[in-house]
């Protein structure tokens, strides 16, 4: 069983309270946030624009939607921004009102929570350990006319794996034939350099909804910004008309208007992940009793193959918080998720893992 009650990573308050220490003393590997921190250009703009708080943001967020549209080369009428992608998930589900939805397990918890708000039967498609947790074409047979909605996370959380592109196209075709709304959660896709995702294919596929988050890549989980995209502008307009007004605060809107243009930050992030991700993977694989899944985003799924070791507990004793995956349907207490952070922090995690798994500190 997971030590913590929280259904998400990043709950340093709860973890620190267990140890009786201030949350700042914990090194957090449980939330998948870009370790470069928020772009310096954004920090400056926030400081310079503090008086935004004294005005209502534009209720239509015209500049924000225009900036997102410019970035993706699509009309702004296809986009609806939300207070984090989480709000976009709930907006979408509230509007589509699916009666029979399929989710993939293990997967992000909020699809289920959003679907449970309505009268929706939830069908699970289980990824399998023997497939290395990769999505296979077995899902094609699981898609039946009874379904009206399918959630896929690309790359998936917590596995970090991106389904084969050909398979995704097949799934998209099958969903179109069967009248299933395909919801692609691309919250972490920005971390994969050169990966465009499905936005360029939306024009011809109004049955596909893409969800994006800016909170992870641009390290603004406290500011919060996400959006949904669909090429049926009437459908998006309908959602816009039903969304709570001013749900995005002025600072988050300002962030969205500028950060997508910060190509130096994007390049620096890809460089960090390319270099440090590779090194981290190698070092993790050298740890005895640990299976590392080849995630492409900024986190890795691990399986601890040593019976009787609770990695979360023993790392917490060393003031390091990792995500136990025991409460993910489809996984169990052997599984953990860790973020990829900067070299120094990663070395601290590796040393703590080594102490737990080998009983010795890492050799230099
Ligand atoms: C797969 C996935 N989608 C969406 C979200 C929500 O992102 P946001 O912080 O933008 O609400 C998360 C957050 O952890 C996530 O893991």
Q: Any residues with CB less than 8 A from the CB of 169 and at least 6 apart, and which?
A: none
More confident site: 307 or 103: 103
**Residue 133 in this model has a pLDDT that exceeds 90:** yes
Distances (CA, A) of 33 to 39, 41, 296, 298, 346: 13, 18, 14, 8, 14
Torsion, Cα of 250, 94, 111, 128 (10° steps): -140
**Ligand 1 atom at shortest distance from the alpha carbon of 108:** 1
Q: What is the DSSP letter of 323?
A: E
364 pLDDT band, cuts 50/70/90, is: very low
Reading the block at residue 315, the tokens are 């790392």
- Give me the pLDDT at residue 354, please: 94
Residue 206: both structure tokens together? 């109004």
Q: How confident is the model over 247-262, as a mean pLDDT? A: 98
Residues lining ligand 1, judged by CB closer than 6 Å?
Answer: 84-86, 108, 153, 157, 185, 187, 213, 215, 221, 226
Instruction: Name the residue of 187, 192, 226, 256 whose CB sits within 8 Å of the most ligand 1 atoms, as the mutation to test its pocket.
Output: 187
Report the atom number in ligand 1 closest to the C-alpha of 31. 14
Phi-psi region of 61 (alpha: psi -120 to 50; beta: other; left: phi over 0): left
Whether the full predicted model's pTM is greater than 0.85, yes or no, is yes
Q: Residue 196: pLDDT band by 50, 70, 90 thresholds?
A: very high
Q: Would you place residue 11 in the very low, low, confident or very high pLDDT band (cuts 50, 70, 90)? A: confident
Torsion 232-238-240-244 (CA) sign: negative
Transcribe 6-24 into DSSP letters.
-SSS--HHHHHHHHTS-GG
User: Quick one: what percent of the chain has pLDDT higher than 90?
Assistant: 90
Using DSSP's 3-state secondary structure scheme, residue 62 falls into helix
Give yes or no for residue 136 having a pLDDT over 80: yes
Q: How would residue 3 be classed by pLDDT, with cut points 50, 70 and 90?
A: confident
* pLDDT tens per residue across span 275-334: 999 999 999 999 999 999 999 999 999 999 998 899 999 999 999 999 999 999 999 999
Look at residue 363 in the predicted model and tell me its pLDDT: 47
Residue 9 C-alpha to ligand 1 middle, in angstroms?
11
Q: How far apart are CA 109 and CA 7, in angstroms?
A: 7
Report yes or no: 26 and 16 within 8 Å, Cβ to Cβ: yes
- pLDDT of amino acid 4: 74
Separation of CA 213 and ligand 1 centre (Å): 6
Confidence at 20, pLDDT banded by 50, 70, 90: confident
State in Å: Cα 168 to ligand 1 middle.
21
Give the residue from 221, 152, 218, 217 showing the smallest Cα distance to 180: 152
State yes or no: cis peptide before 106, omega within 30 of 0: yes
pLDDT over threshold 80, residue 165: yes
Task: Work out the widest C-alpha separation in the chain, in whole angstroms.
Answer: 61
How far apart are the two ends of the chain, measured CA to CA in Å? 34
- Cα 76 to middle of ligand 1, angstroms: 22
Model confidence at 229: pLDDT above 80: yes
Residue 149: what are its φ and ψ, rounded to 5°? -160, 140
Confidence grade of residue 144 (pLDDT, cut at 50, 70, 90): very high
Q: Look at residues 172, 163, 169, 103 and name the one whose alpha carbon lies nearest to residue 296.
A: 163
Side-chain half-sphere exposure of 347, counting CA atoms within 13 A: 5
For residue 10, report the distance from its CA to the centre of ligand 1, in Å. Answer: 12
Provide the token pair at 4.
Answer: 């913590």
């Amino acid at each position: 069983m997971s030590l913590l009650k929280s259904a998400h990573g990043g709950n340093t308050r709860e973890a620190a309270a267990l140890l009786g220490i201030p949350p700042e003393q914990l090194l957090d590997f449980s939330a998948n946030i870009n370790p470069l921190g928020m772009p310096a250009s954004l920090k400056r703009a926030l400081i310079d624009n503090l008086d935004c708080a004294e005005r209502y943001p534009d209720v239509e967020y015209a500049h924000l939607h225009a900036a997102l549209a410019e970035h993706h080369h699509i009309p702004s009428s296809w986009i609806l921004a939300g207070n984090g992608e989480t709000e976009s998930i709930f907006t979408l589900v509230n509007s589509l009102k699916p009666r029979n939805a399929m989710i993939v397990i293990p997967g992000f918890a909020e699809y289920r929570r959003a679907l449970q708000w309505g009268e929706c039967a939830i069908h699970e498609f289980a990824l399998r350990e023997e497939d290395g947790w990769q999505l296979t074409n077995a899902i094609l047979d699981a898609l039946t006319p009874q379904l009206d909605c399918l959630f896929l996370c690309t790359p998936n959380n917590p596995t970090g794996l991106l389904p084969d592109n050909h398979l995704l196209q097949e799934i998209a075709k099958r969903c179109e034939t069967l009248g299933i709304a395909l919801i692609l959660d691309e919250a972490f896709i920005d971390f994969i350099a050169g990966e465009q995702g499905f936005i360029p294919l939306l024009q011809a596929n109004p049955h596909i909804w893409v969800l994006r988050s800016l909170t992870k890549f641009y390290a603004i989980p406290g500011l919060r910004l996400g959006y949904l995209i669909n090429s049926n502008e009437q459908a998006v307009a309908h959602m816009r008309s039903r969304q709570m007004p001013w749900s995005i605060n002025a600072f988050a809107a300002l962030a969205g208007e500028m950060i997508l243009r910060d190509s130096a930050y994007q390049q620096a992030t890809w460089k960090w992940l390319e270099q440090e991700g590779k090194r981290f993977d190698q070092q993790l694989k050298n740890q005895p009793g640990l299976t590392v899944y080849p995630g492409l985003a900024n986190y890795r799924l691990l399986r601890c193959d040593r019976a009787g070791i609770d990695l979360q507990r023993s790392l917490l004793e060393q003031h390091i918080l990792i995500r136990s995956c025991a409460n993910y349907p489809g996984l169990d207490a052997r599984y953990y998720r860790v973020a990829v952070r900067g070299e120094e922090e990663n070395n601290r995690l590796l040393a703590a893992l080594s102490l737990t798994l080998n009983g010795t500190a890492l050799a230099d």
